[in-house]
Structure 1
Amino acid sequence: MSTFTAETVNDAIEEGLKSLNIDRNNAEINVVQTNRKGFLGIGKRDAIVEIDVKNVQTASNSQDIAATTKNINKIDLKPSNNTEKTRKHSNEQAIEELMAYLQPIVEELGITAEQQPRIMNRKFARINFKTEQEGLLIGKHGLTINALQDLAQIYLNHIGYSRLSIQLDTADYRHRRTEILKKLAEKTAREAVATGQPVYLDPMPSFERKVIHTQLEDNGYVNTFSSGREPYRAVVVEPQNV
C-alpha cells in the first residue's frame, strides 16, 4: 500500500491515482490523516491517504520502483506474466520469490547474508538477515534496510500480494529502534510541554512515525501529527491547546 500526502484529502487521492496510473474504481483508499489549517501556520498539517492497487496489472513499472529507492542502482524488477497464477500462490511461495529477488540486490551491496523468513500471519511476514555486516545492511539511520524494505513491499505488490506486509530485520534492529523511538517520543513530549511550542522531529518512514504517534496517543498534554512530503515527512509534537 502506497502513501501520498497533499494539502487536502482530494488532492492526495488525485496525486496517488496519477502516480499509480489507476482510476478510483481500481483503487482501495484509506484516509490516514485529514488536513488541518492551523492558526497562523501553527498546527497546520497535510492530509495523508493510503492507496492500494486492486489490479496488479496496472501497477507502477520497474522504472518507477527504481526511482523510489535512490540508493540501490540498476534494479531489475521482472514483470509478472501471469497475474492469475500469482494470485493463487501461497504466502510461502510469495516470500520465496521475494527472497530470490532480494538476494542479488544484497550481494550487489557487498553484503553476505542468510535470509531467515517467518510468516507471522496471513497479512504479515518477516525476513531476518543473518550477517556479520549488520552495520552495512542497516545503513546510516536505517537508510539501507528501510530502502530494501520499501523495495520488498513494492515487489510483493507487483506480484499480487499487496495485502501481505513485509518487515526486513537484522541483529534485532527493529526492536532496538522501536525502543529508541519510544524514549524519543516521551522526551519530545516533555520538551513541547516545557516550552509551550511544537517540536519537529527529523524525517522518518511511516512505520517509525507510527511508533511516535502510538506512544503519545494517550498523553493528555500533547498532540502529534505528521507534516511534510515523503521522504521528508516528519512527526510534530505540540502541547495541547496550541
Structure 2
Amino acid sequence: MKKVTVSGKTVEEAVSKGISQLNTTEDRVEVTIIENPQKGFLGFIGAKPAVVDVVVRPDPVEEAHLFLKDVISNMGFSVEVTKSEEKGQVLFSIEGENIGPLIGKHGHTLDSLQYLLNLVANRYSDDYIRITLDAGNYRMKRKESLEQLAQRLAVKALSTKREVRLEPMNAHERKVIHHILQHKSGVKTYSDGEEPQRRVIIAPA
C-alpha cells in the first residue's frame, strides 16, 4: 500500500502534494485528515498547517494480475501473462510451453483460477468486475469444439428419436450448447442435474 503523510497551508494543498508525491490522480486516493490548519496569533504566530494521510487505493485489475503471476510462479510454470481491456471487458492470457496443467481437463483448472481472480479483483472494487482468463487460446478452441459436438449430437437425437445426454459442463459451456441449437429444427435442449454434475440434454422436439 502506497501512503504518504504531508502537510500544507490548507487541506487541499496538502492533498495535492500527496497526490504529486505518489504520482497518481485524485480519483485513485483516499484521504484522512490528521490535523486541520489553525490560524495563529495575529494570523501567523503559532499557526499550524494541515496534515493529511494520502493512500493510493489498490487497482483491482492490477491486484488480480499480480495474484495470477504469483500463483503461476509458485506452481512452477514459466509463462507470459498479458492483460487487455476493451469496452469494460478484462482478459488475461497465458502463453508458454507445456501449459496443459494450467488448463486442466475440460478447462477445470483454468476455470478455478478465473474464479479466484474475480474474487481478488472484486475485493478492491465497488463495482463488479468480470475477468476472463484464457491460456493458449483454449476458450476459442473449446467453443468451436462444443459447437461441432452440439451439431453432431443433434443429428444423433434426430436420427434415433431419443434424448442425448452430454457430459457435465459449467454454465458457460452449457450456454454455448443451448445457443447453437436454439434455432435448429426438430430438437430442443435443456439442462438437468445439480452442479457440478449439471449437463445439457438434447432431445427431439
Give the TM-score, by structure 2 length: 0.67
Alignment correspondent of 1:107:
73
Q: Percent identity between the aligned chains? A: 34
Cα distance between partner residues in 1 of 2:138 and 2:151: 20
Which residue of structure 1 aligns with residue 193 of structure 2?
228
Which residue of 2 is the match for residue 171 of structure 1?
136
User: 8 Å contact 2:163–2:201 — kept in the other structure?
Assistant: yes
RMSD: 2.2
Unaligned runs of 5+ in 2: 1-28, 31-55
Unmatched 5+ stretches in structure 1? 1-83
CA distance in 2, matches of 1:169, 1:105: 15
Q: Runs ≥4 in structure 1, deviation > 4 angstroms? A: none
- Cα deviation code 1:196-228 (max 9, x no counterpart): 121111111111111111111111211111111
**For the Cα contact (< 8 Å) 1:203–1:233, is it kept in 2?**
yes
> CA offsets, 1:3-44, max 9 Å, x none?
xxxxxxxxxxxxxxxxxxxxxxxxxxxxxxxxxxxxxxxxxx
Structure 1 position 155 matched with structure 2 position 120: yes
**Per-residue deviation, 1:126:** 0.6
User: Which structure has the larger Rg over C-alpha atoms?
Assistant: 2
Q: 1:117 to 1:161 in 2, by over 3 A?
A: farther
- In structure 2, the CA distance between the partners of 1:118 and 1:160, relative to structure 1 (3 Å rule), is same
Residue aligned with 2:167, SS: coil
Q: Which amino acid aligns with 2:87?
A: N
Greater relative contact order structure (CA < 8 Å, 6+ sep): 1
- Deviation of residue 161 (structure 1)? 5.9
Confirm whether residue 195 of structure 1 aligns to residue 160 of structure 2. Answer: yes
CA–CA separation in structure 2 for the residues paired with 1:161 and 1:107: 29
Write the letter of the residue equivalent to 2:61.
I
Q: Which digits, 9 at most, give the CA deviation of each residue in 1:61-96, with x for residues without a partner?
A: xxxxxxxxxxxxxxxxxxxxxxx96xx979xx3211
